[in-house]
Amino acid sequence: ETHEKRDFIRQIVREDLAAGKHAAIKTRFPPEPNGYLHIGHAKSICLNFGIAGEFAGVCNLRFDDTNPAKEDPEYVAAIQDDVRWLGFTWNELRHASDYFDAYYLAAEKLIRDGKAYVCDLSAEEVRAYRGTLTEPGRPSPWRDRSVDENLDLFRRMRAGEFPDGARTVRAKIDMASGNINLRDPALYRIKHVEHQNTGNAWPIYPMYDFAHALGDSIEGITHSLCTLEFEDHRPLYDWCVDNVDFAHDDALTAPLVERGLPREAAKPRQIEFSRLNINYTVMSKRKLMALVTEQLVDGWEDPRMPTLQGLRRRGYTPAAMRLFAERVGISKQNSMIDFSVLEGALREDLDSAAARRMAVVDPVKLVLTNLPEGHAETLTFSNHPKDDAFGTREVPFARELWIEREDFAEVPPKGWKRLVPGGEVRLRGAGIIRCDEVIKDADGTITELRGWLDPESRPGMEGANRKVKGTIHWVSAVHAVPAEIRLYDRLFSVPNPDDESEGKTYRDYLNPESRRTVTGYVEPAAATAAPEQSFQFERTGYFVADRRDHTAAAPVFNRSVTLRDTWSA
């Protein structure tokens, strides 16, 4: 069942295992700790950890920390938190920087083998020499340096003798290659920058492609899954794996083995899949970073952000995220996923996973005049209409209630099923009421409704079964707890906020209605929720007790998603 053919990558894995190519499979999730993870990363996490789990393999978490200027331990910690939250357990936690010594030796080996050289061209010159898609590149004037000179210069680079950008180590591959990535790509650059893991130990840093291919080799990754934009890099990936050849080189692996890292025989294979794109959002780390630094949102975990921290705070559940990843699937075709698919996954999970409660978001008072002053009683409600395992709770009912302002209309539109002057409506689980009087202030705003509770319509009575058009929710005014309710919506009001035509940027497309904060009332059994507990507030939507700000005395609820899709209708 779990081994059924789901996508082309699982098919490859299945075939490799059947052919005995690997005793066990090993994948990795390789984030760069230069920002918080977003929903796109969740797709990659679910794929890498998912496949490892389905095929009895393992998955490493590896921080690809080769670009020290932008990396930070804050991100390293948050990423681990996110992966765990999604429900996955890594085999080993590694950093590319754990292998800096091995990478260094690998580059020396390539130099000794005449496959790499130290180049003194500036970044600008390298670009000019590289050529274009239609025009071959020109060889660097430093391409034919002797091995001894190259080794000497590389060692001096490592010793910190040269300023940033003065030299690079480049692979000697093919300046005429149709694939520009093979036109002597840089393997090492000089950067006198402190590193989040290795401090000031290294003034040179390996380039991503080199480090990534070797990291996979060192860890014995069997299937190295990455997004489509790396398809053109695959020949370089293979070149690095093959020419360094960790699996057959004792001199290279000895220092690693000494540190307790086993020598791995597997030769990793890179396989590309399409990136996740979702409309009504931006996913580039650069833009997410700008939203935070320009204070267009309240930080990385703002509940409107597509970051995993943001989605979590919004009330997205790990199960909903995994369901979403499964629905979106894996393919070679880039596409735009509708935001409603994400919301649909959350609704589906919470419909079965969230207990029901009553809360009034925009309250107006309803006084039941035929109940005695101070009357209060307790009603028993089931917590879930479809699942008895959720049990029941006690809901206080009293003479004075809060109901939703929008559940009353003085002049009802056509088809109205809720309360009108002189009309009847069912109060969820309590009985049938009639509205007798509408009280307004000087401005004409309704301040109170006065009504009559049909004493023959109480729960369990014969009269409770008679037909009335609508059912509305309510809370007891004396018992309900005032709550801060944050009504979130999509952060952007257009499907493609990345559209920069007409000189606009995503900043111009922010949805001004993406957050509204109101004071409502929740029943006592909602107020006592634990932070991060989700509920369906009946007829209103799915809400979560805010992870940071909610307390029983001062409840704070975030709207995770409405009950129905109001965007595409």
Site for ligand ATP in 51-70 (CB under 6 A): 64
CA distance 95 to 241: 18
Would you count residue 284 as binding ligand ATP (CB under 6 A)? Answer: yes
Would you count residue 32 as binding Mg ion (CB under 5 A)? Answer: yes
Q: Closest separation between CB of residue 240 and Mg ion, Å?
A: 16
Chain position whose Cβ is nearest to Mg ion: 32
Q: CA nearest 382: which of 391, 395, 371?
A: 391
Would you count residue 270 as binding ligand ATP (CB under 6 A)? Answer: no
Chain position whose Cβ is nearest to ligand ATP: 40
Site for ligand ATP in 29-48 (CB under 6 A): 30-32, 34, 40-41, 43-44
Q: Quick one: 185 or 451, whose CB is closer to ligand ATP?
A: 185
Q: Closest separation between CB of residue 369 and ligand ATP, Å?
A: 59
> Which parts of 307-420 are beta strand (E)?
335-337, 355-357, 359-360, 363-368, 376-382, 392-398, 400-404
> Does the active-site annotation cover 275?
yes
Query: What is the number of residues in the chain?
Result: 569
What is the DSSP track for 484-505? EEEEE--SBSSS-TT--GGG--
> Does the active-site annotation cover 5?
no
Q: Closest separation between CB of residue 440 and ligand ATP, Å?
A: 53
Q: For residue 419, give Cα distances in angstroms to 134, 371, 500.
A: 73, 19, 47
Q: Quick one: 93 or 439, whose CB is closer to ligand ATP?
A: 93
Would you count residue 285 as binding ligand ATP (CB under 6 A)? Answer: yes
- Contact partner, 561, from Mg ion, ligand ATP, none, Cβ < 5-8 Å per class: none
Q: Closest separation between CB of residue 175 and ligand ATP, Å?
A: 27
Number of residues interacting with Mg ion: please give it, by CB under 5 A: 1
DSSP code, position 364: E
Catalytic pick among 62, 130, 170, 285: 285
> Does the active-site annotation cover 285?
yes
Q: Are strands 431-440 and 446-453 parallel, antiparallel or unpaired?
A: antiparallel
Place of tokens 């295992």: 17
Q: CA nearest 270: which of 218, 330, 220, 216?
A: 216
DSSP-H helix ranges across 259-300: 285-293
Tell me if residue 270 falls in helix, strand or coil: strand
| Strand order through the sheet with 116-119 | 116-119, 168-171, 186-190, 204-206
CA distance 249 to 243: 11
- Contact partner, 27, from Mg ion, ligand ATP, none, Cβ < 5-8 Å per class: none
Among 12, 283, 290, 353, binds ligand ATP (CB under 6 A): 283
Q: Closest separation between CB of residue 38 and ligand ATP, Å?
A: 7
- Contact partner, 284, from Mg ion, ligand ATP, none, Cβ < 5-8 Å per class: ligand ATP
Cβ neighbours around 236 below 10 Å, total = 24
Q: CA nearest 536: which of 358, 325, 393, 319?
A: 358
The interface region with ligand ATP, picked from 27-35, 188-196, 372-380, 446-454 by CB under 6 A, is 27-35
- Contact partner, 425, from ligand ATP, Mg ion, none, Cβ < 5-8 Å per class: none
Would you count residue 498 as binding ligand ATP (CB under 6 A)? Answer: no
Tokens coding 388: 């008895």
Q: Closest separation between CB of residue 313 and Mg ion, Å?
A: 24
Q: Quick one: 177 or 227, whose CB is closer to ligand ATP?
A: 227
Residues recognised as catalytic: 32, 275, 285
Instruction: By CB under 6 A, name the binding residues for ligand ATP.
Output: 30-32, 34, 40-41, 43-44, 64, 226-227, 275-276, 283-285
